[in-house]
Structure 1
Amino acid sequence: MRWIKQIYNCFYAYKQWFLILITTDLLFSFLAWLAYPETFKVLVGLMIVFTLAMISMSVFIIFRKQKIIEAAFQDFLLEANETNEERLCRVSPKTHWSFIHRMGGVIRSYQAELNEQVIELTDYENYIEGWVHEIKKPLSLMTLVLDNRSDEMSPPVRQRMLHIRDQMLGDVEHILYYARLGAAHKDYIFESINLLAFCKQIIEDHRTLLDESSFQIQFIGKEMEIYSDRKGLAFILEQIIANSTKHVAQNQDSPILKFETVYDKVSDQTILTISDNGPGVSEEDLPFIFDKGFTGRRGTYTRQATGMGLFLVSKMAYDLAIQLDAKSELGSGLTLSLIFPDVKQ
């Protein structure tokens, strides 16, 4: 089937030359009929055999030439240096040389710009990574002061300082996990996790963040066992919690964050549902909440919205084979479901 398609493409590409050859044969056949009617059949037969032989030889030469050009062109695309450019010119028709030289110059120009951008991006990534490690020092000092000098602060001041510290730690985690998602090798360790107990632990670790917004926490359902990476799952839960605290509606009296575990017997999967009673998401915004940088209408409730939290959640969930589902309406809060894969021991 492949050979038939190649032959068809060859005939289609050089159809004018084949038509000229066939027309010439018809003309000479007519002349042979006029001049040599007694040997007309013999002459026409020889002409047909000669024409078929010429066509077959032409197709063979064209196929061989095309393979040589394709190999040279592929090398030229992989590395558009002057050596590969000259090699491509040698095997290509002379009428194409000017286009090949022009294309090589353009590709090399773009490649040089790309290399410069890669170097700049690498320097920027190294700077950000260095900054992250440097910022950990004052954060550690801040934690040390809050732990050892708490008697010198009033409770409201200490609570506010703890809240700011946790926000800074969350921003640092953003950067670290964003870099981790782009790494070639990821050190995920999948192990057995008691889901509700793990959620309660994450809540306690971020108690100051929730207390600042006066969140009420509810846990519903039975304890269930799942297999996942602890650090990755913790990051997902932390970002969902941070997302809910950032989008608390103004003048909201009693914000609620609810964790519910459900076992789906049909799909044999464990589902963790996390819902709040915040401002919610409009129907037209809901399909895009996991897109990078998307804030939508929820972003209008707070200047803290960056559109990165749920984007990182979706990327981490993909790495951990966790399916995400979002449901919401304006004024009715946001519900995110984490559907864990069924893992057999």
Structure 2
Amino acid sequence: MIRQFFKEYGIWYLTYAILTISFFLTFMLFHLPIAYFKVSFSVNITILIFITIWQYYKFKRKQLILQQFIYVKELNDFHLPSEQAFKAIICQQKETHASELLKLQTQMENIQNLIKMWSHQMKVPLSALSLMAQTDQLDPKEVEQQLNRLQNYLDTLLNYLKFSQNKDDFRFEKLSVKNIATSIIKKYRIPCLLNHLSVEVTGDWELKSDKKWVTFALTQIIDNAIKYSKDNGKIIIRISQASIEISDDGIGILEEDLPRIFEEGFTGFNGHEHQKATGLGLYMTKQVLDSLNLDITIHSQIDQGTQVFITPKKR
């Protein structure tokens, strides 16, 4: 630590040495009594030694505090302008670190809650498959429906984790929204047949966007429309240039739930009542569409159905 001390304050000792030599040369050039110089030098070097001991003690104490401090209040003895500046930087760094740590802890808690909720949702189709197997009543259409649910829950979880870690994973290309919607309907043909749902797709929109994430967003909306539709219901998908409308005549959404439907983990009355919601679908749909520069709005009334609108963001 002595080397560090002289590294920090070495310039002052060098300055003192140069001044001492200058005074000595002055005495020699003007033939002044060297005894006076010796007395002055002795006094000055004695004072310098005491100052050096004091400054070294303060330097060593400051170094130990900086190496071992935990709380910012331990830096209250730092009063020099440069020390105050470093203290401000340290405070800012600790606040940033604490904020990042809190964010990470919150994210970990959210993931843990998500896994618990996701596990609970997976139990429903698994229990249905297990019951069918035990009673030897394996209806192929019902089995396919439960497998589709399992696949959808798994895709939602994997896409959530992927999107939360890398939100700019996009590959833009020209898409036919009608083709995407039609392929999703084909995927859900079994639930539609079992619930006697009719689906109508009209119009088209040549959209330049990311196919994977547009498909994901539309899948979540259509999946909700199917899940919450009544028997013999109807789902209409109207597509036009710069607009997608997906409407159903299902059970609808409570008015007090509408402002919160895009919140992470929010399931609302329907999710609790029917045990079909994970609280991720609409949250992720909103996040994805925002990243794709698209807006989503939802209008709904109880027992009259729900309308979902997707449009480009207004500039």
SS at match of 1:328: strand
CA positional deviation for 1:204 = 1.0
Q: Using the alignment, how far apart are the partners of 1:229 and 1:338 within structure 2?
A: 15
2:254 matches 1:282: yes
Alignment check: 8 A CA contact 1:276 1:335 kept? yes
Contact 2:243 2:310 in 1 (8 A): yes
Q: Does 1:226 align with 2:207?
A: yes
Q: What is the CA-CA distance between 1:247 and the residue it aligns to?
A: 1.8
For residue 187 of structure 2, what is the amino acid of its counterpart?
Answer: D
Compared CA separation, residues 228 and 254, structure 1 to 2 (3 A): same
CA–CA distance in structure 2, aligned partners of residues 80 and 168 of structure 1: 53
The alignment covers a number of residue pairs equal to 221
Match in the other structure for 2:264:
292
Question: How far does residue 82 in structure 1 lie from its aligned partner after superposition?
Answer: 1.5
Q: Distance in 1 between matches of 2:249 and 2:295?
A: 22
Query: Are 2:195 and 2:231, in contact at CA under 8 Å, matched by a contact in 1?
Result: no
SS at match of 2:231: coil
Q: Give how far 1:119 is off.
A: 12
Aligned-residue offset at 1:183: 1.5
Matched letter for residue 246 of structure 1 = K
What is the TM-score with the length of structure 2 in the denominator?
Answer: 0.58
1:299-314 equivalences under 5 Å are: 299-314=271-286
Unaligned runs of 5+ in 2: 1-65, 82-86, 130-135
Q: Which residue in the other structure is 2:157 paired with?
A: 175
Alignment TM-score, normalising by the size of structure 1: 0.54
Q: Does 1:256 align with 2:234?
A: yes
Instruction: Give the one of 296, 303, 311 matched to 1:324.
Output: 296
| Cα contact 2:267–2:278 (8 A) shared by 1 | yes
Residues 108-164 of structure 1: CA deviation (Å, up to 9, x unaligned): 9x96xx59x759949x78xx7xx99xx9xxx9xx9xxxxxxxxxx99x711111111
SS at match of 1:160: helix
Partner of 2:56 in structure 1? Answer: none
Q: Using a 3 Å threshold, how does the CA distance of structure 1 residues 306 and 184 change in structure 2: closer, same or farther?
A: closer
Identify if the C-alpha distance between structure 1 residues 92 and 213 changes in structure 2 by more than 3 Å, giving closer, same or farther: farther
CA RMSD of aligned residues (A): 4.2
Letter in 1 for 2:206: E
Change (3 A) 1:119 1:205: closer
C-alpha distance in 2 between matches for 1:163 and 1:325: 28
Separation (CA, whole Å) in 1 of partners of 2:256 and 2:105: 36
Q: Determine the C-alpha separation between the residues in 2 that align with 1:234 and 1:315.
A: 14
Q: Which amino acid aligns with 1:89?
A: D
| CA 1:201–1:87: 2 relative to 1, 3 Å | same
Q: Provide, for residues 69-89 of structure 1, a one-character-per-residue CA deviation record: whole Å limited to 9, x for no partner.
A: xxxxxxxxxx99628945553
Quote the offset at 1:197 in angstroms.
2.0
SS in 1 for 2:158: helix
Aligned to 1:162: 144
* Residue pairs, 1:1-345, within 5 angstroms: 82=69, 85=72, 89-91=77-79, 114=101, 118=105, 121=108, 157-184=139-166, 186-220=168-202, 222-248=203-229, 252-263=230-241, 270-340=242-312
Paired amino acid for 1:328: S
Q: Which amino acid aligns with 1:284?
A: E
SS of 1:239 mapped into structure 2: helix
Change (3 A) 1:285 1:162: same
Instruction: Give per-residue Cα distances to partners, 1:165-215, cap 9 Å, x unaligned.
Output: 111110111111111221245321111011112211121122223323222
SS in structure 1 opposite 2:156? Answer: helix
Residue aligned with 1:90, SS: coil
Shift of 1:241: 1.7
Unaligned runs of 5+ in 1: 1-78, 94-99, 143-152, 264-269
Q: Residue 284 of structure 1: CA displacement?
A: 2.3
Q: Which moved more, 1:231-240 or 1:177-186?
A: 177-186
Cα shift at 1:245: 2.4
Q: Is the 8 A contact 1:226 1:340 kept in 2?
A: no
Contact 1:322 1:340 in 2 (8 A): yes
Alpha-carbon distance in 1 for matches of 2:67, 2:228: 51
- How has the CA–CA distance of structure 1 residues 193 and 119 changed in structure 2, closer, same or farther, with 3 Å as cutoff? closer
After TM superposition, which residue ranges in structure 1, 4 or more long, deviate above 6 angstroms?
A: none
The alpha carbon displacement at 1:255 in A equals 1.5
Kindly state the Cα deviation for residue 219 of structure 1 after the two structures are TM-superposed. Answer: 1.5
